[in-house]
Structures are given as C-alpha cells and as structure tokens.
Amino acid sequence: MDMTKYISVPNPIKREIKAVFDCTREMVWKALNYQSDSDLARRIRKFAVDKGGVEFDASKQNFTNLNR
C-alpha cells in the first residue's frame, strides 16, 4: 500500500467512524492511511472525506528547504 497518502480528519470524526462502522481504532487508522484496501476501508475513506476529511499525497508535494 501507499505510505505517502492519507486522509486527515479530527479525532471526533475518527471516533464517529469507529461507531458508525462498528470497527476498531486500528481499522480506522489502516483505512485513513491506505494500509488496507478492503470494502470497509474504502467506505471509511469515503465517509471521512464526506465529513470534511482532507486527502494528502506526499509523493506529489514539493518540499523546499527554507534555511538555504
């Protein structure tokens, strides 16, 4: 799975995901960090984005060292 891609949501939304999908905290983490691609993980990711979660993909980011 892609380690540079993740969905950021506040902790209250993570708790809501856990309750709505009746799953473990670990499952929520795996879904939001693209460590799982099961049907449940895909539904969790869609729910998170629908609730305002922001998807990040570090592989597409350009980082600049501002200390130079």
Q: What is the pTM of this model?
A: 0.82
pLDDT tens by residue, 1-37: 555 899 999 999 999 999 999 999 999 999 999 999 9
What stretch of H or E contains 55? strand 54-57
Whether 61 has a pLDDT exceeding 70, the answer reads: no
**Is the Cβ–Cβ distance between 40 and 27 less than 8 Å?**
yes
- The end-to-end CA distance of the chain, in Å, is 34
